[in-house]
Amino acid sequence: MAEFVTLEVSDGIGTIRLDRPPMNALNRQVQEEIRAAAREATVRADVKAVIVYGGEKVFAAGADIKELAETSFVQMSEIIADLQSAIGSIADIPKPTVAAITGYALGGGLELALGADRRVIGDNVKVGTPEILLGIIPGGGGTQRLARLVGPSKAKDIVFTGRFVGPDEALEIGLVDEVVAPDEVYNAARTWASQFTGAASRALAAAKAAIDQGLDTDLGTGLKIEQHVFASLFATADRTIGMESFMANGPGKAVFTGE
């Protein structure tokens, strides 16, 4: 039984909930519990979309600094791959994912949110990668995902300075996708996620794989990835359901099974 991270499922939406007061610091135990929750959300057929949420006060204010301070070079060399993959496990969920961010998403907290497909924040939220102020750099995927999201120049400014980014700037540079009142963050994330509870799940997974994998390679290879996942959907029941429904009733009327 997980102590700090749970997966709560309701109406086709899974909420991965962080609950390690006061700031949801991401120690090794929390990291592994995030990995387990992400895996559960992946394999459960009743989960069609996923919200990552830290509660009403804070998303996650970063790594557990006390734990990091006690870690030697040799120890970190042995665990960094696990640390990075645990924080990045949200990105591996083959379903639409959204981070519902309240309060702060700093360091590892922002890295966790960067693994989601979408980020919704309150209008009082601060995000950033302040690791440089500790004499280190983001190590949970931040240097890579942030640069891919906002471009290398903006990513370097945020990482080099360690400064906090407010909601207006975060929205302007594409770091987040929606800014709402603080008490509407979870509801806004749920509204977005609810679009997919009756969607063609395998097609969504294929679209996500084509985009994410294509971004990691050149255009020609990306097009081949698209070819492969596109063709694979012609083996699914949802493709037949969708096309037959379109011909009989027009667009948007199909009732998909996820198969």
SS3 sequence, the chain? CCCCEEEEEECCEEEEEECCCCCCCECHHHHHHHHHHHHHHHHCCCCCEEEEECCCCCCECCECHHHHHCCCHHHHHHHHHHHHHHHHHHHHCCCCEEEEECCEEECHHHHHHHCCCEEEEECCCEEECHHHHHCCCCCCCHHHHHHHHHCHHHHHHHHHHCCCECHHHHHHCCCCCEEECHHHHHHHHHHHHHCCCCCCHHHHHHHHHHHHHHHCCCHHHHHHHHHHHHHHHHHCHHHHHHHHHHHHHCCCCCCCCCC
pLDDT score for 2 = 87
Instruction: Give the span between the Cα atoms of 15 and 50, in whole angstroms.
Output: 6
Domain 201-249 carries which CATH code?
1.10.12
Give the residue-averaged pLDDT of 47-66: 95
One CATH from 3.40.50.1000, 3.40.50.150, 3.90.226.10, 3.30.390.50 for 5-194: 3.90.226.10
- Look over the chain and give the mean of its residue pLDDT values, rounded to a whole number: 96
Work out the average pLDDT over 104-117: 97
- Active centre residues (catalytic): 111, 131
Residue spans per domain, the chain: 5-194, 201-249
CA dihedral 35, 150, 197, 212 (to 10 degrees): -70
The predicted-structure confidence for 81-103, as pLDDT tens digits, reads as follows 999 999 999 999 999 999 999 99
What does residue 101 show for φ and ψ, rounded to 5 degrees?
-110, 120
Whether residue 122 has pLDDT greater than 90: yes
